[in-house]
Amino acid sequence: MLQNNIYLPYSIGVIISYIRSNIEIRNNYDINILYVKESIEMIDSKVKSPKYFFISVYMWNFQYSMNVAKFVKTKYPDCKIVLGGHHVPYFDIDFFNEYPYIDILVHGEGEATCEKILLGNSLCSINNLSFQEAGKTTRTNKEYNNCALDNIPSPYLTGVFDTILEDGHNFTASLETNRGCPFGCHYCDWGSTLTSQKKMRRFNKERVYKEIEWFGKNKIDFVFGTDSNFGIFKTDMDIVDKLIETKQKYGFPNKFRVCYTKNSDNFVFDINRKLNEFGLSKGATLSFQSLNDKTMFAVGRKNMSLKTFKRLLDKYNDCNIPTYTELILGLPEETFDSFADGICELLNMGQHTSIVVYNCQVYPNAHINTPEYRRKYGLKTIKIPMFPTHTTIESAMNIDEEEIIIGTNKMTTPEWIETCMFSWCVQTMHCLGLCQVIAKYLHEKHNIKYKDFYLKILYYAKNNPRSYLGAEYLKVRNKYINIIEGNGFKYINKPFGELNWTFEEGSFLTFILDEDRFYNDIYYAVSDLADVLILANLFKINKFLLKTPRPFKILPINKVIKNILDFLNIENNGVDTNLMCGLDCDESLMDYAINKVWYGRKGNSMLYAKNEIRSKWYGIS
């Protein structure tokens, strides 16, 4: 079932809908789409003497696509292989030497350029190309926005995907309501001056509404908005209304996810409140990337103030709308301390459940990939196999690579590993709930800084490698050492199936397999932070509130526990009652991992909330 979720191939679909609108092309070409990573044998069975072979590439399919291109070119030497998409480098003089089976590179938006290629125009006369002829590389003029959006028919509405729909996958659709981004974050290839203009262009709203209607009629469960800054236009609320209306009419789409405009504000909050009310929301992003001013300056981005963040976070929490906050590890000017202080500042502000830390990837057309930028900030990078999380990765098709930053002139590679370990510790122990109650209480009541609390745990783990906690610490640290030696992010936890987990999720699952040993180690790690009675009861509460696969749990109440629960604002009926909570006991370990840790993690707590806890009188079994 998990393998069956597939995106409709929008980027190639929108080019097909455009070129098919040209009668000459329609009359002279049969156009077929390949959209699933399949074996070369399968590709061979589907490709018959093509004149052109167009490929849209990004990091998740680049290497695979190169293998397919090489195969097609070898078998059909006269076929022209044309490469487009974000991963096509603007400047790479060695590209055609490295990939000699590629004939043409299309830079920027591809619709009008591909049309001209198919019409047989001389390549020199077509803007936005690089091509190889007689061993010589030619780069034609750059032209932004060479096609009016109103001239591009919708692939959904013109039937491009009709036959694909019959293949019976669970399809996700992309909704593109505009193109461009007015910002210029240097790690991103979207806002890069190399690839796009700052001006945003919009598709007409009637087309967008009809596409949403198409999603409803075709039972598309999940729609991903491709806009760079949803909520930047006031009319984006009309799109939200149309999504809601369509869901009410057809029952689909079920969920909508999009990147919200930088520095989220009240309007984005209103959008999310509405989406949440009708069950369409996948959570709101309150992004930071980094809380270090020097880093933000170096990447050309400005954050909202912490005061605004806190105000918005409280607003979302009051309405029970999940939020998540993203950070990027490996950005220039960041140090161990600045990153650790930043992540703990988010905890101070009340973001306890959903902090997502990404590794800084280097895209071919992002500003951080220019030689000057790399030199200026001393970027040290490594190319590693790209193992997607939450999929089974033992597949011959998983051959793509990502390039990530593992050091800068402010953070050595060993420091990068230590920073990753701190981030792992906070995400595993705090955000996933293992120690959240303990850390919060000690922070609020005893003034223990989050950073000190989690450093203590790391210190204990590092110095007790034979303990349960220490063994896991060592395992994850070795995984990071493997990464700087060129291996990918891989964590398979066998009792929970064959899926690949993020390191923090993988470790969380390991820890809950033997909670008693885990909490024993944590107790030793932090035992000098409060008196024994308080700590012992805090541990009982945290263990009780954690959503583990156990069918149900009981927490006997005593005066200390009652005081702590009162302080944490978790009500109970008095000292004479026990508290009880539990999960569906029919759930397998794998279902638990998928439903609670994967699906449930973003925006939701791994801890039972007040309304999930029941009172249980003594004496009643």
Amino acid symbol at 226: T
Gap between the Cα atoms of 238 and 208, Å rounded: 10
CB of 366 to ligand SF4, least distance (A): 9
Q: 153 vs 184, which CB is nearer to ligand SF4?
A: 184
Helix (H/G/I), strand (E/B), else coil: 566: helix
Q: 227 vs 472, which CB is nearer to ligand SF4?
A: 227
Amino acid symbol at 521: D
CB of 276 to ligand SF4, least distance (A): 23
Query: Hey, what long-range contacts does 459-467 have (CB within 8 A, 24 or more apart)?
Result: 459/525, 460/521, 460/524, 460/525, 461/521, 461/525, 464/521, 464/524, 467/517, 467/521, 467/524
Q: Which residue has the tokens 């927490």?
A: 555
H helix runs in 47-93, sequence order: 62-75
Q: 56 vs 361, which CB is nearer to ligand SF4?
A: 361
Report the greatest alpha carbon distance in the chain: 89
Q: 271 vs 483, which CB is nearer to ligand SF4?
A: 271
Q: 188 vs 340, which CB is nearer to ligand SF4?
A: 188
Element (H, E) at 132: strand 129-133
Which two structure tokens, joined as six digits, stand for 102? 């590629």
Q: 334 vs 418, which CB is nearer to ligand SF4?
A: 334
**What residues contact residue 29 under an 8 Å CB cut-off, 6+ apart?**
51, 52, 118
Sheet with 577-581, strands from edge to edge, namely 553-556, 577-581, 614-617
Q: 181 vs 432, which CB is nearer to ligand SF4?
A: 181
CB of 368 to ligand SF4, least distance (A): 12
CB of 260 to ligand SF4, least distance (A): 10
CB of 64 to ligand SF4, least distance (A): 25
Element (H, E) at 53: strand 52-56
Cα dist from 564 to 230, 523, 560, 570, 605, whole Å: 42, 17, 6, 9, 19
Q: 356 vs 536, which CB is nearer to ligand SF4?
A: 356
Which two structure tokens, joined as six digits, stand for 169? 């996958």
Q: 108 vs 506, which CB is nearer to ligand SF4?
A: 108
Amino acid symbol at 362: V
Among residues 178, 367, 354, which one has the least CA distance to residue 259? Answer: 178
Whose CB is nearest to ligand SF4? 191
CB of 427 to ligand SF4, least distance (A): 22
Helix (H/G/I), strand (E/B), else coil: 177: coil
Helix (H/G/I), strand (E/B), else coil: 182: coil
Strand pairing class (170-175; 380-385): unpaired
Q: 184 vs 600, which CB is nearer to ligand SF4?
A: 184
Helix (H/G/I), strand (E/B), else coil: 384: strand
CB of 259 to ligand SF4, least distance (A): 6
CB of 185 to ligand SF4, least distance (A): 3
CB of 371 to ligand SF4, least distance (A): 21
CB of 310 to ligand SF4, least distance (A): 22
The string of DSSP codes covering 136-150 is: EEEE----S--S-GG
Binding region for ligand SF4 (CB under 6 A): 181, 183-185, 188, 190-191, 228, 262
CB of 382 to ligand SF4, least distance (A): 22
Q: 359 vs 487, which CB is nearer to ligand SF4?
A: 359
